[in-house]
A and B are shown apart, each in its own frame.
Chain A
Amino acid sequence: MPDFSLTPEQESLRDLARKFARTEMAPHAAECDRASRFPEEIYRKAFDLGLLNLNLPTEYGGSGLGLFDQCLIVEELAYGCGGMTTTVIAHCLALAPILLDGSPEQKERFLKPIGAEYRLAAFALTEPSGGSDPGSMRTLARRDGDGYVLSGEKCFISNAPQASLFVVFANTDPSQRHKGVTAFVVPRSANGVTVGPDDEKMGHRASSTAAIRFDDVRVPASDRLGPEGGGFSLAMRTLDHTRTPIGALATGIAQAALDHAASYSLKRETFGKPISEHQAIQIKLANMAQAVQAARLLTWRAAWLIDRGQKGTLESSIAKCFASDAAFAVADEAIQTFGGYGYMREYPVEKLLRDAKLTQIYEGANEIQRIVIARELLRGYG
């Protein structure tokens, strides 16, 4: 029989994340959002509590959680602040390719320091020319003696301003298009690495994002992840693992929006009664609740399948796409429920809309997700 209840262990993990989100993150969310401040002290605390290296195995000093448990935590954190949660999941995203294709020696060398002390990693795939088309990648890695020389530019790289290492995708053979894409681990300290200024973003302003330029950066062959030309497959396998947590992040934002709207509706009075007694508001809340629950269940199912060893491409794309659309719609309705107050920065719901927007875009825009969903779906009919 399917079982939708959490184990006591999962409940205690969730409670830890919930407490952290509500006592450490949420009180600073508005301030970090307004000032576009990267609250390093909060991420350090998350590291201390084991809430940063969610997917890093315990042998490297991480929390070693399965995808389902990661999703439980990510939803709770995002309830406190979506932007801060982006810092966490962007870090886990960068660890995933090392975990997937790194040699034992590389894992020891790159991951041990990450588990031992607070350090961030960044995943550098997207380029100015486009994020969803790795075949047209312009960052090149030219063979040079016993290593490579990287040149090119990556953009919208979360954690770039703070990360101590980057997982960089570059083309070792542009004639092969996406089959020439290769992954490298590049330390921030390497000569020729330049991180651009922080991008001014609409939402997720507690996370930081910047462009990275590589000017003839020498990378030893020992820092290449997997074989030459294995990068595209690695990137896709990585995203199969990290798409589902975006669903969880979006669910957390949606739940926060619903909670704000529902509690406001009980206290705000118009025409002599709380607005929760007006059907127009009840219908909104009912629709919002449906979206939140569906988003959570789709996310849980995708994570559960992947934890059981399935690829879960269809399910994770559905979860990410549905939950992020739901988050945007629920945040939108939350603002509408608040009326004029909802549009004011003093109230917390307009931030949720701005934060929800990004979940429809990053880690594979929802248009791409729908293409993937359709392709996977039609496979079953062909």
Chain B
Amino acid sequence: MEIVVCVKPVPDAETRLRTAADGSTLDIEAVKFVLTGYDESAVEQALLLKEANPGSKVHVVSAGPPPRTEEVLRASLALGCDLATWVEMPPGVAPDPVSAARALARAVAAVPHELVLCGKNAGDDEAGVVAGALAELLGVPDYSAVLDLRWDAAASRLRFQRSTEAGVEKWEAPLPCVVALQQAWNDPRTAKLPAILKSRRLPIAKVPPEAAIPATGTTRPTKFELPPPRTGAKLIEFKTPEEAAQKLVKVLKEDAKVFP
């Protein structure tokens, strides 16, 4: 099977967030870029499929600026991906999700691809848009929130489970398609030291980004805000436990907006 995995470099979860003085950009202190968690699951899923289906190849693709993009591609090679393609964007350019999908689609379309895997969303902008947009550009269906994936060679069908609001859905689908992985049931492997050293010497194919970015249908961030420091609890006044419960649920829903 020809498998393509799309990955995105995102700031390490431990990165401290700060906004620039005017709030227009996010200063990311001591930024270390890594594969986002869902992408790790996607790479792991690709490698598991490759191992289960001899003769398969895994091609990792990423679109972004140096050096972070090269680093996540090399990290993917160290994990066991066979080939890598980098849509090299100028330093400092962070495409919006749809533009990223356009860039990825051109690279993916140029290589053999039966199954394209993506992470469900990136840990920074949390858009979760790339897989669907990429699928639309490639003219194939996509399936999101996928937990695990198996290729049934006899039936020529992918079999997978999706975690949606309805519950766990069981699906089967033919190739080609795009699949977006949920933090999967797999346990992403760690690259071994010799593989890391070897990955530094493997070639990465570079392709230029599309010259013109479409004039419409783009988005750009204009402001970032961080939550204010804590000032002490707002105490809930009540006469009965039931009243306390009702008031708390109400503020969690309406003020804090964290009610599930």
- A–B proximity contact (CB within 8 A): yes
Which one of B67, B192, B194 lies within 8 Å of A58 (CB-CB)?
Answer: B194
Chain A-chain B contacts (Cβ-Cβ < 8 Å), number = 37
Segment at the B interface, from A12-20, A33-41, A199-207: A12-20
| Chain B interface residue bracket vs A | 10 to 19
Q: Are B200 and A8 in contact (CB under 8 A)?
A: yes
Q: Are B71 and A16 in contact (CB under 8 A)?
A: no
Interface string of B71-86 (1 = CB under 8 A from A): 1001100100000000
8 Å CB contacts to A: which residues of B32-83?
Answer: 32, 67, 70-71, 74-75, 78
Q: Are A12 and B196 in contact (CB under 8 A)?
A: yes
B251: chain A residues within 8 A (beta carbon):
none
Q: List 15 A-B contacts (CB under 8 A).
A: A8-B74, A8-B200, A9-B200, A12-B71, A12-B75, A12-B196, A12-B200, A13-B196, A16-B190, A20-B190, A49-B193, A50-B192, A50-B194, A58-B194, A63-B193
- Asked whether A48 is an interface residue with its Cβ less than 8 Å from the other chain, the reply is yes
| Chain A interface residue bracket vs B | 10 to 19
**Contact of A19 with B190 at beta-carbon distance under 8 Å, contacts A8-B67, A9-B200 already known:** yes
A48: chain B residues within 8 A (beta carbon):
192
- Asked whether B20 is an interface residue with its Cβ less than 8 Å from the other chain, the reply is no
**Contact of A49 with B74 at beta-carbon distance under 8 Å, contacts A8-B67, A9-B197, A9-B200 already known:** no
8 Å CB contacts to B: which residues of A1-58?
Answer: 8-9, 12-13, 15-16, 19-20, 48-51, 58
| Complex: chain A residue closest to B196, CB-CB | A12
8 Å CB contacts to B: which residues of A290-313?
Answer: none
Report Cα–Cα, A301/B182, bound state, in Å: 45
Report Cα–Cα, A223/B118, bound state, in Å: 55
Q: Are A49 and B75 in contact (CB under 8 A)?
A: no
Secondary structure dominating the interface of B:
helix
**Contact of A49 with B190 at beta-carbon distance under 8 Å, contacts A9-B197, A12-B196 already known:** yes
| Complex: chain A residue closest to B197, CB-CB | A9
Q: Are A12 and B192 in contact (CB under 8 A)?
A: no
B196: chain A residues within 8 A (beta carbon):
9, 12-13, 16
Q: Are A50 and B200 in contact (CB under 8 A)?
A: no
CB distance from A138 to the nearest CB of B (A): 40
B75: chain A residues within 8 A (beta carbon):
12
B30: chain A residues within 8 A (beta carbon):
none
A20: chain B residues within 8 A (beta carbon):
190
A16: chain B residues within 8 A (beta carbon):
190-191, 193, 196
Report Cα–Cα, A50/B197, bound state, in Å: 11
CB distance from A52 to the nearest CB of B (A): 10
Query: A12-B200, A13-B196 are known contacts; what are 11 more A-B pairs with Cβ within 8 Å?
Result: A8-B67, A9-B197, A9-B200, A12-B75, A13-B193, A48-B192, A49-B193, A50-B193, A51-B193, A63-B193, A63-B194
B190: chain A residues within 8 A (beta carbon):
16, 19-20, 49
Report Cα–Cα, A12/B76, bound state, in Å: 12
